[in-house]
A and B are shown apart, each in its own frame.
Chain A
Amino acid sequence: MAVTGAVMLLYLLVHMLGNLKIFYGRESFDEYAHWLRSIGVPALHGAWFLWLMRAVLTVAVVLHATSAYQLSRRDLKARPQKYSHRQRLEASYAVNTMRYGGIIIALFIIYHLLDFTALTLNRNGVEGAAYDNVVSSFSVWWVTLFYIIAMLALGLHIHHGFWSAARTLGVHSAAREKNLKIGATVLAVLIAAGFMVVPIAVLAGLVD
């Protein structure tokens, strides 16, 4: 969970920063989208880098989901009977929503790929016209709402996931406890807010 999570987290950070190019205007954003399809040329042919990255990400998502499923199965089996007096849980909201949040994020990723990669659900749906595709989707209020909900779930997921991963990988210690917690919060807010600012800007008419 920790290693695959770290791979995806790294990707998300780059993805989020790349999205912000939309504020430099249509030309700049479309050029960036085109560049993504030609990274490494001429050493690599065409969109090879893109496909390589997609392969790594797919493996990461599949392994992450598989281990989440196995861990959940094991944990539910280890605690078959609940207490009749409800436990007062000390853990934060983020901890208790890891499973549901993960499912929301997975459903969102499917929708997101159909919207902006396969373009089947995109209202504009012109390949290469990334800027217009983004604007056409986020002009619809419920698409933006779903996007924002998914990003909030993502932020919570990262908030617990980051420092949980740090502990799994043994990076965590008493001296680093505080820094890791701050790091988790900063990363979660940065990534969630960085993604959310685009649809909000579209709805507000700042990007059109």
Chain B
Amino acid sequence: MNLTLRIWRQRGPEDRGAMVTYELADVSPDMSFLEMLDVLNERLILEGEDPVAFDHDCREGICGMCGMVINGQAHGPRDRTTTCQLHMREFADGDVIDVEPWRAAAFPVMRDLVVDRSGFDRIIGSGGYISVVTGSAPEAHSTPVPKPIADAAFDNATCIGCGACVAACPNGSAMLFTSAKVTHLNLLPQGAPERESRVRDMVAQMDEEGFGGCTNTGECTVACPKGIPLTSIGNLNREYLRALTKR
């Protein structure tokens, strides 16, 4: 496959940045999107240019490190797929592919396609945990959890914190991410002791980070590689109202 790539290049946080066009020949349809960028980068290095910076880690679709907006879609055209699990067979020979970083005020671009997502870490730090005695693992049957609750908690726990929801949201809102974490932990008995403070603190931190407000457009859930449902946002609001009335 021969492709034309238009990639966002930005030397650092203060640089203005621009889209730069690269022609890439002989791309295998079996390559992943990141492998295709690896090939481009090898060539750029040999030519004495700076390689395109992008985040990645496991390349198995479970770590949440990779992520870029491909042709206007977070993680590219394939549903429920991270960028690393997207393969070039999704594209056609001769395609022009636009590659851009996540765009949100709360996710400043560090370099090229790398954005600073530490805002998510601070949201987690403000309440996305449970207080347990550390040491040996507890007996699994000592805290029974009904199957539907366990399933719902697990569905929300699959959030890998990649930030595609923020990137896709026209308001740059982090509601889907925060709601997945709150729903996951607030559903379970292990999360009960911090149930109210968790939702209050995580929402407060989310607001402080400069994420936008949710207008229920639903773009986030479409972009989410893990399919976190929009109902989680309804649940976050319910938990928030509950916490406000239960001081």
Please list the residues of chain A having a beta carbon within 8 angstroms of any beta carbon in chain B.
71, 74-75, 77-91, 95-96, 98, 160, 163-164, 166-174, 177
Contacts and interface: CB of A to CB of B under 8 A. Distances in A.
A95 B214 CA distance: 12
B215 interface: yes
B72 to A, nearest CB: 4
Nearest to B170: A79
B173 to A, nearest CB: 7
Contact of A164 (B98, B104, B215): B215
The bracket for how many chain B residues form the interface is 35 or more
Residue among A71, A82, A90 with the most chain B CB within 10 A?
Answer: A90
7 contacts: A75-B215, A78-B172, A78-B211, A79-B171, A87-B219, A90-B222, A167-B216
A131 to B, nearest CB: 41
Interface of B: 6, 8, 19, 69, 71-73, 98, 100, 103-106, 168-173, 210-213, 215-219, 222, 229-231, 233-235, 237-242
Contacts of A80: 105
Contacts of A171: 234, 238
Contact of A173 (B104, B170, B235, B241): B235
A91 B234 contact: no
Given A89-B170, A90-B222, A172 B213 contact: no
A164 B216 contact: yes
B151 to A, nearest CB: 11
Contacts of A75: 170-173, 212-213, 215
A74 B212 contact: yes
Contacts of B69: 83, 85
